[in-house]
Structure 1
Amino acid sequence: MTEQKPLPRAFSDVFRNDETINVYSYIRFSSKSQSLGFGEVRQLEQINRFFEQYPIARLVERYEDLGVSAFKGKNLKSGQLARFVERIKSKEILPNSLLLVESFDRISRMGGYDALELIISIIQSDCAIYTLFDNRLYSKRKKDSSIDISLIQNILERANDESRAKSERILDAKKRNREKGEKGGIITKQCPFWISFVDDKFVLNEHSNAVKRMTELCYEMGFQSIAQLLNKEKHARKYTSSTVSKVLHKHAIYGSFLALKLDENGIRNVFNKEIKNYYPAVISEAEFHRISAKLQERLDPKFSGRKAEDFRNIFRGLAFCKCGSTFRFHKQKNHYVDLVCQASTFNNCEYAREKKGVRHRYFLIEDLFMMYHKQIPFETILVKSDDIKMLEKEQQENAGLIIAKEKALANNFSILEKSSENSQKYILSRIDEVSLELDELKKNQYELSLRINNLYITDKTSVHTHDVYKLLLSENGRIKINNFLHSQKVKLIITPVKKKHFSIDIFHADRLIDTIDVANDEYTARLKSHLE
């Protein structure tokens, strides 16, 4: 059992023997790999030993920043230490308080006046600090504290110098590794699961066929559907929607290695350098950018939640009640399927009959729409000459490049805010360069759209209604129609009149193309656009 001792002599200047000392302990280490390693265990043992030796001290709260660097003050911006400092400022700390730390370098490694000012502000708030590694007490109540300030500053400067030297060594090693990779050398033998390191080189393995399938299926199917299909095809491993998503976002599928660095939250996601042709490629870079453009499009909330195996409603996100509410796709026990006004289920639809919801047979709405769809350019998903296919592929690749350049621009602006004056000149020139490239890509995108539209107008006469109906026969076909209608800004507004009487306004790109009046089993198009 640890021998209980009286408080160190220095405590008599600060605390009375009959007073309970309210202790707030703080531990920190900068690498998450140190969790429950020597760094954490050492600090915990020192704190526990202090309480065993000095039972008059009472632990009030324990603060921990595990895997958080103090070199640039991250623990002061968002860590637990920042929370403790805020509590001091708000006067929420108990009287006779003591901050217990291994050393001042646990609090800050920033160096200079910033770190010194922080520690003095804690002490000036009448919260004493006790450093366990040298058993020293720092408090405003001490009779002579001038020596303490010099000592604190020396400790902080030494800690900052150590951190700076370590940071420079790590950065230099990473730079040498990147240069080695650019010359065809190996940075790390770790690689994505579809690549193996064999005989001192990277090669595609048995999983690469599944990755290739993902890139082919992603244009028409969501991540969940792709994973299900791959598992049915019995590839070398099982896949989940999460795995599919991660793979399709990885630059490694076109052979690129991304050197990343930590952001201010300690997450490795800030782009630093790209080394192309580092890995064997599954697809081309242009194909990757096409996929990126498609995945970016899917981030639109209108396209979320589509599962091929249960997708029935081609009007999802497109059909609205006159009251402004959306329609919910509802399958009844009698096998009838309705579109139900969401507001009417809560008695909030002004067009609902008393104690009755607003509902319409789904297949009637679908049939009416298909009868009067002529003004909507379905040829853009049905008629695909070789010229159109080639231009659309180029357009998708261009869209992917636009996304990549926009990300690069945002990354440069982020770096600019934290750079030195000398570095800022280079970064500003890079921003100008990327901005010009982005403008040129957007100009190309507009010109490609015009050329594609002109070709579609030429091919329009070859489209027939039965071609559109063929798409309704499969789940993926219905998803394709729904995607297309969203891209064309098609909208249906249904106005209830009375039982079995209603009207449907069909809009295309915010333009009313027709209104269909329904009375029992009779239908009338007011503008007769289907005859034009």
Structure 2
Amino acid sequence: MPKTTNSPKAYSYVRFSTPDQQRGDSLRRQTEAASKWAASRGVELDNSSYQDLGISAFRGANAETGMLGEFRRAVEDGIIANGSYLLIENLDRLSRDKPRKAVRLLEEICESGITVVTLADQKEYSVAVLDEDPMAMMWALMTAMRANEESITKSRRVREAWGRLKTQAATHKRPMTKRVPAWMTLSDDRSEIKLIEDRTEVVRRIFREAIAGAGQHRIAHMLTTEGVQTFGEGKRKSSVWQRSYIKKILSNPAVIGTLVPHSTRVVNGKRVRDPLSPVKGYYPAAISVEVWERINGVGGPAVSPRMRGKTGEVSSLLASLATCPLCGSTMTRVNKGRGNGVPYLVCTKAKSGAGCRYRQVRVDGVEDAIRERASELFVSEMPAPDEALNIERDKLAMQEHATLESIDRLLDEIERGGTSRALRERLSLQEGALVEARAALAKAEERIGGDIRRSVELRLRSVVEALEKPDESPATINQALRQTFSKCVVNYRTGYLEFHWRHSERPTELVFGWPEELDD
């Protein structure tokens, strides 16, 4: 991986916790203030974007898994230089966690060599300031106390409001929210939940087919091939019926009119939902209790969760990444033959009978190509975040290559006896052009080598390390690939795997087989 020497810069961190703030003025206000501060101080404002949009800082998740956590890791890895500035609107943008934790976070950032600047009051916090100015530490603690108290009050009010809604739901059967199951709708005055008759009939049919012995896959395939419309609207509407959705309907007590509300708590930084007492009669029933119990039993759902293989772990390197080249749907792993069979990748849309071409691609050929050749290719062809820079770099690289070829031809002529002065002048000009081309290419590489790229390089390093271990598990390799790539088009028509980087629109292609010559 290329290494660069960094100089101190200013980095803007923007955070707000609700979608309403995103639709409002919060983002513009915070980014504009950062630009003005950097300009007034003559400090370069890095174009790397560290934004936690719609993320709360109440439990400190932004400092661990959000972009603030990404910023801190970049500081630890030396990507962001000592002496740099972190620009925030107020201290509560960093954290609304418990005051001691919030102040500790501020101290840890300062101790890593970063000066934190609060743009609203133009205060600066560094190790020296925190050590020498007791009022700075006092102000930070007071700000943290106020921010945490505000979040606690807001959280309590929200819980109380939901508690009242749950009580009303249990006693008066009054709708709690406008969200209802997909086969229901809420009246215009939001006072009554009604069944959507055509969708309700689909729900009833799903139960009839299941009672008759049809499996979830078969029911999904049946509905898809018959052209039965899936539930949902807009982007939430699937083009085909999925086994997982059939399972969800069969195990959802809402079909017999029962609401199961949940309470939410935070455990080790993660939200955990706990079921509360069921509210019977909250929804209009789509089926009878007797029909429900024939599928789920008296004690509740009997459908067991589906595991990935015998170990319950990811068994494919391209799980959640493999994409069909024809329709863009996910490709899933299937086994053909007796016993465990031979694993193939097939389009989920074709598998469910929704119209795409059913084409089997052998998994072993795909994964052998990834394990044997992908790491070197990824390192050499990692694109820049800005496509214009990619194009510029490619153009300069072509100029360098063309100049080298011209020099080689001139040297061949000289070796064959060419001694004219014009020939040597041309060689001198081409050598000068080569120096200029290489200098321009180096500058383009330097512009490409920004902080976002170096963060990508760190993620790519984990991919390379995983691929270079012969005994590394598919789950570990898959996790590393998913952190770096958004999808991998398994293009059996061309024989290439097209890896799409998360930070760039330019894919990297890896040969895995002959075009349209793969074994069926």
Provide the TM-score with structure 1 as the length reference.
Answer: 0.49
TM-score normalised to structure 2 length: 0.50
- Quick check: which one's strand share is greater? 1
| Bigger radius of gyration | 1
